[in-house]
Amino acid sequence: MAVDEAIARMAGQGRVPPTLRFYAWDPPCISLGRHQPIADIDVDKAKAHGLDVVRRPTGGRAILHVDEITYSVAGPADEPRLRGMVMDCYLRLSEGLTRGLERLGVHVYKADASARAGPDVSAACFEVPSAYEILTVDGRKIVGSAQVRKREWVLQHGAIPLYGDIARLVDYLALDEEVRHALRDALTRRATSIERALGRTVTFEEAARALAQGFSDALNVEFTEGTLTPEEQELARTLEAEIYTQTDWTYRV
């Protein structure tokens, strides 16, 4: 999370180019939305099973990051592909995700602009889609995304399950057993992975290539592979120490 924000801040200052990043999580991790209460998570159980718990700089609800590819897009707030209102930007980036998934053979569409999570929605991100999030043709959510906009920079990132049990998150939510069972059933019906959609396994590298090309086509941009600059690495370490590893950030109620 610190690296995502560091890239966004540096790009907002014009010190690095707008960046599309792909990554995975080691060890597996539960990430909370910026304003989500820590009470939603059974932290002791998560840690007992080797899971980290972090809080994102973006909104939304909990995601279990395992067996997935995570993307992030970061750049200046006035960059033509990122400027405007949140939903304007969301729509442009959703087109990149859609084209990338289609290149893999996953037939998808974007949720309606009116799609919103209601007040009674669960703590799990993948239970219901928000506006312009990506669904397979049978209506299952396959990408969970969130965005934060500041005066100088924009960051959007999201998770795409490659394979595995999409409902595993419910084991680590603070729920009674009856509710847990119902939510597990709901997630199984309403969310999916690339493997489940295609009937075959897709590697991280294959997914990254397809998604990069999808963003390239949708945004009319050519990407150059790169690595973090020393300045980005230094800022990421600072953000990690001052924000993302702080108890009052991660464990806020």
Q: Give residue 53's pLDDT.
A: 97
Per-residue pLDDT, 118: 55
Q: Residue 122: what pLDDT?
A: 81
In 3D space, the residue among 153, 178, 180, 7 whose CA is nearest the CA of residue 83 turns out to be: 153
Question: Residue with structure tokens 């991280």?
Answer: 204
**12-15 LR contacts (CB < 8 Å, sep 24+):** 12/75, 12/76, 12/77, 12/150, 12/152, 12/153, 12/154, 13/152, 14/76, 15/229, 15/231
Instruction: State the burial class of residue 43 (Cβ atoms within 10 Å of its Cβ: 0-12, 13-18, 19+).
Output: middle
Percent of the chain with pLDDT strictly greater than 90? 90
Give the DSSP letter string of 125-179.
GGGS--TT-EEETTS-B--EEEEEE-SSEEEEEEEEE-SS-TTGGGGGB---HHH
- Contact indicator for 110, 143 with CB cutoff of 8 Å: no
Residue 69: per-residue pLDDT: 98
The list of the chain residues with pLDDT below 50 reads none
Domains of the chain, CATH where assigned: 2-250 (3.30.930.10)
Q: What is the pLDDT of residue 123?
A: 81
Query: Is 89 a residue of the active site?
Result: no
Residues 3, 101, 108, 125: which is the catalytic one? 125
Model pLDDT, residue 140: 95
pLDDT digit string, tens, across residues 83-142: 999 999 999 999 999 999 999 999 999 988 776 555 566 888 788 788 888 999 999 999
Contact between residue 29 and residue 41 where contact means Cβ atoms under 8 Å apart: no
Tokens of 222: 């050519």
CA distance 227 to 111: 33
Question: What SS3 state is found at 117?
Answer: coil
* Contact predicate 102/194, CB 8 Å: no
For the entire predicted model, the pTM comes to 0.94
> What DSSP designation does 191 have?
B
